[in-house]
Amino acid sequence: MVRQLYGRWRGPLHGYVLRMVGGDYQHAEDIVQETLFRAWRHSDELSPEQAGPWLYTVARNLVVSGYRRRVARATEIPIEPADLPPVADEVDHVLQSWQVAEALRALSADHRSVVIELYYRRRTVTEAAKALGIPPGTVKSRSFYALRALRDALAERGVTES
């Protein structure tokens, strides 16, 4: 009886379900198998020739209930690919940041502290001089030589200006 159901209805049922699930072959196959399994459990009530309406109804209900489960579980808002930053740009940015940090560590402590005050903490020359306890002229001089050393260190690492 089950073999007759399978032989008679598997193909048409699969085509029907395949259209309902948007061409997802594996998902359609799973629905058909579950439908035929349920038919096997009700084999005493079904005849292979007249089981079509029952099988199509069960398959449709399985597709609908599966869709409802997926929608109910969806708690995240999908992000469109256009909303995401390009991966290569992010990777390049991270690598450049890492290389700049490495080059900063190679500077002397005096030069590094001036660069940090001026460029990372965004202080003026006067504010940096006050924070470091050195004259403004010294801040300018150290900044000049620190940036030159930083540019050379980055050039050695292959980081170019963009």
Diameter of the chain measured on Cα atoms: 99
The more confident residue out of 127 and 85 is 127
pLDDT in tens, 56-68: 888 888 888 876 6
pLDDT band with cut points at 50, 70 and 90 for residue 15: confident
pLDDT at 74 over 90: no
What was the pLDDT predicted at 86?
59
What was the pLDDT predicted at 6?
75
Cα-based distances in Å from 101 to 153, 157, 159: 11, 12, 12
Structure tokens at 82: 């256009």
Q: Which pTM value belongs to this model?
A: 0.43
List domains and CATH numbers for the chain.
2-73 (1.10.1740), 85-156 (1.10.10.10)
What was the pLDDT predicted at 117?
92
Helix 2-20 and helix 25-41, axial crossing angle in degrees, nearest 10: 140
Cβ atoms < 10 Å from Cβ of 99:
15
pLDDT in tens, 75-113: 555 556 555 555 556 666 777 778 888 888 888 999 999
